[in-house]
Structure 1
Amino acid sequence: MPVPQAIRAGISEEEWQVRCELAALYRLVAHFRMTDLIYTHISARVPGPEHHFLINRYGVLFHEMRASDLVKIDLDGNVVEEAHSSKRVNAAGFTIHSAIHMAREDAMVVVHTHTAAGIAVSAQRQGLLPISQHALKFYGHLAYHDYEGIALDLDERDRLVRDLGTHNAMILRNHGLLVCGASPAQAFDQIYYLERACQAQIAAQSGGAELVLPPESVRVHTAAQFNRPKANPGYNLAWEASLRLIENDKPDYRS
């Protein structure tokens, strides 16, 4: 979509495309009820040689996010675009995101959520149990990071990166969920299914019956099926289909 003339200065067509996709991802996270008012974040790397990123303007709810609401910042959370210098961002909220973006060139998008199911599973010693097909998507591909308090200490970034390793999904103990992806579509796929796996676990546990766990061989086989290389991953189709859910929202996320 062409860049609106009012905000065209300083924004390339490539960056505007990322802005539109990131705004759409915010709205889809809201659509599937994975928000926590204004207190979680989704960030995206800005194309180009600079280490610049897009993040939500502090105070904008996810369901109303627009491409023009996103603010360009550096690795320290400082606003780097003059036109938006008065826009407030939650720099402390970028601590977790900056750690992943700095360490993982493949992490174009980072999503962090505080959902009831995600927090509940994060507080369980065994973490995500291999009791559903959704959970098996992450079997052997899920990291954990112990809670250290509100993420204000920049020293924690090294430990976040160490714990995430090469995985694209992580449970932050006593805190919530974190995923990353090489595209908004991949990041959406990761957070959607990790959240659904957590919801299924809490629902299954609430029934009080003994849980059935597939044998180890089936767990490994299923995880390999989910994570095998694909020329055209299904999550791209799911992303395109999901965009229709927010196509008629007002104001348009692409504005």
Structure 2
Amino acid sequence: MFIPGTSTALQQISHGPFALQGIPMFPSFSEKRQSQLNHMAAAFRYFNRHGYVEGMSGNITARDPEYTNAFWINPLGVHFGLLKASDMILLDADAGAVIGGNRSRPANAAGFLIHKSIHLARGDVQAVCHARTIHGRAYSTFGKPLEMLTQDVCNVFKAHSVYANYGGMVLGEEEGRNIASALGRNKACIMMNHGLLTVGSTVDEASYLFGLMERSCQIQLLADAAASNGKEKKLIGDNEAAYNFKVASDAENLYAEFQPDYGYEEAVCNGEFKDFDPFAFLARH
């Protein structure tokens, strides 16, 4: 049984003499930036592998570790499965000016407005993921939060919201602020008629939670379909869901949850996405 204060959840789940390592520490901003962009590129490869692609839509952003009023974003019109760390664009969060990284392509204007509003509203958020997935979009049409049907979805127990005032394509700052307001202090938001959005203290946490939300929407749709044919759903109780959330939904554990996928993406392409040069970035900035 997990006993708060005695050890971390990651330590308790590691059976043996060594525990899995959580979020790494870096001696310099440039090394942290390089690692962050490598993991960001891997997250896009992960999104591609799972089919989280809809034309030019979808963004992952990561706050720069040194220039904290700026964030990295993917370029518009490049397939997720092709993205590399060097493709990312550094934008000033206030004005939207390109201040570093890739200058050969534009960013997604709607993505900038949504992610800007969240990064400005939530100083604790280092990364934001948004994409238009099949099951996320299907479930979003109900405008309802997820039920606690499985142990895994308890990672967002009372920590996900619904934005139920769909305002059309985000081409103005007001809609971005509305989405940020609907997210509140939560880890995730179901955007009605639109898709899913997750946040985290690392790109890895936000990316893992995004995949979890998409799978949970799929499970919810399957369970609801079975229930409509007379099958009884049995939900996890609030006490048990709260316990699961406390045990598993901390930043270190959610970072670790993404590492098998990071390792897989690194192996299948021999790490080709890790091509960012932090020294070249510093020279240009």
TM-score range, shorter chain: 0.7 to 0.9
Number of the residue aligned with 1:99? 117
The answer to whether residue 183 in structure 2 is matched with residue 164 in structure 1 is yes
* Distance 1:173-1:200 versus aligned 2 partners, 3 A rule: same
Number of the residue aligned with 2:46? 28
Number of the residue aligned with 2:6? none
Deviations for 1:27-86, whole angstroms, at most 9, x for unmatched residues?
1111222222321100000111441111111121111110001111112433112x6333
- When normalised by structure 2's length, the TM-score is 0.77
The answer to whether residue 108 in structure 2 is matched with residue 90 in structure 1 is yes
> Does the residue aligned with 1:179 lie in a helix, a strand or coil?
strand
The answer to whether residue 56 in structure 2 is matched with residue 38 in structure 1 is yes
1:55 to 60, 69, 73: 73
Contact kept in structure 2, 1:147 and 1:172, CA below 8 Å: yes
Number of the residue aligned with 2:243? 224
Number of the residue aligned with 1:174? 193
Quick check: 243-252 or 60-69, which moved more?
243-252
Q: Aligned-residue CA RMSD in angstroms?
A: 2.4
Number of the residue aligned with 2:260? 241
> Does the residue aligned with 2:196 lie in a helix, a strand or coil?
strand
The answer to whether residue 149 in structure 2 is matched with residue 154 in structure 1 is no
Deviation at 1:177, TM superposition (A): 0.4
* Distance 1:97-1:16 versus aligned 2 partners, 3 A rule: same
Deviations for 1:102-130, whole angstroms, at most 9, x for unmatched residues?
11111111000111110111101434233
Number of the residue aligned with 1:7? none
Question: How many percent identity over aligned positions?
Answer: 27
Quick check: 245-254 or 117-126, which moved more?
245-254
CA distance in 1, matches of 2:144, 2:73: 32
Number of the residue aligned with 1:68? 86
Deviation at 1:166, TM superposition (A): 1.0
**Unaligned stretches of 5+ in structure 1?**
1-10
The answer to whether residue 131 in structure 2 is matched with residue 113 in structure 1 is yes
Deviation at 1:23, TM superposition (A): 0.6
* Distance 1:227-1:35 versus aligned 2 partners, 3 A rule: farther
Deviation at 1:202, TM superposition (A): 1.7
Deviation at 1:136, TM superposition (A): 3.5
Number of the residue aligned with 1:122? 140
Number of the residue aligned with 1:210? 230
Number of the residue aligned with 2:18? none
- When normalised by structure 1's length, the TM-score is 0.85
Deviation at 1:254, TM superposition (A): 0.3
How many residue pairs match? The answer is 243
CA distance in 2, matches of 1:37, 1:79: 23
CA distance in 1, matches of 2:248, 2:214: 23
